[in-house]
Amino acid sequence: MVYDVIIIGGGPAGVTAAIYAKRSGLDILLIEKGIIGGKIVNATSLENYPGFVSISGIEFADKLKEQLERLNINILYDNVIHLNLQEKEKEIKTKNKTFKTKTVILASGTENRKLGIKGEDEFIGRGVSFCATCDAPFFKNKTVAVVGGGNSAVEEALYLSGIASNVYLIHRRDILRAERVRREKLKERNVKVLLNMEVEEINGDKFVKSITLRNNKDNRISEINVDGVFISIGYVPSTIIARDAGVNVDKDGYIIVDRYQRTNIDGVFAAGDVTGGIMQVSTAVGEGTVAGISAYNFIKKPYWT
């Protein structure tokens, strides 16, 4: 079988693209390596998406999955390991199977950016985490540090403040990048904010015991005892496989697209965080809409195009 569209990634962009492609009458397959919803499942509360005053990331992801199921959209939970995009019929190879398709929509999102310091990799799962929603219960009544200064980092700190006994928020600049509303909540939750500080090393034996900090104003070194470190310093695009297949990316690794979400390869589109820009659910949904419609137009070539 040759699909009309294969969508790689089941976050808001990929799901939206699937909805539009399916409703247009195309034969589609959505491939997701984890769970439907992508990173949104880690959000404690989504408050800036129209139609929801407040909804948890898990609830939002459940609604995405429910809509896919109602439309009888084929979902495959697997890892894509190779792409052949140069021919008219594209080839998608997963760990378990190979598929053919007329078009591809890349919505593979991003991965957590690492600090690149000693102890980070060694203590993953033993005190180092990239997801408070996932791992916070392990740190009940303990002391933790969150590294980062954006909305995601502040959200992690706020969530942990209701579980851990002490929460530090460590940022290397002199001001947090997070929205003012979120910054105000930090004061209410008694989160200790340490600015102009960089984590130099994560220390421990079997588990994390402390972190070494450097004040980037005067280079003074200090150490604080913590049981856990939650790293939230942004993301890097999941584009290695796409780049190897010839898809053009910018200097930061994000896929380059035009206003129709087209890449440099005919029949290959991209949407969501994997294209960079303003990484919000609303923008991912918008790009997914355009990508789904563009795939339909590419295949069917209706008169209005």
Token pair for residue 77?
A: 């939970």
Active site residue 135: yes
Instruction: Tell me which DSSP letter residue 262 carries.
Output: B
**Identified catalytic residue from 134, 244, 250, 266:** 134
Q: 90 pairs with which residues across the strands?
A: 101
Spatial separation of the C-alpha atoms in residues 286 and 33, rounded to whole Å: 22
Distances from the Cα of 56 to the Cαs of 52, 110, 284, in angstroms?
A: 10, 20, 17
Total residue length of the chain:
305
CA-CA-CA-CA torsion sign (98, 75, 271, 276): negative
How far does Cα 127 stand from its chain's mean position?
21
Token pair for residue 188?
A: 């209410």
Strand 90-94 and strand 98-106: the pairing is: antiparallel
For residue 145, give the 3-state DSSP assignment. Answer: strand
Strand 208-215 and strand 98-106: the pairing is: unpaired
Active site residue 273: no
Instruction: Tell me which DSSP letter residue 153 carries.
Output: H
For residue 28, give the amino acid letter.
Answer: I
For residue 212, give the 3-state DSSP assignment. Answer: strand
Active site residue 121: no
**Identified catalytic residue from 4, 78, 131, 205:** 131
**Identified catalytic residue from 27, 62, 78, 135:** 135
Diameter over CA atoms, the chain = 68
Spatial separation of the C-alpha atoms in residues 234 and 226, rounded to whole Å: 22
Give the active site residues: 131, 134-135
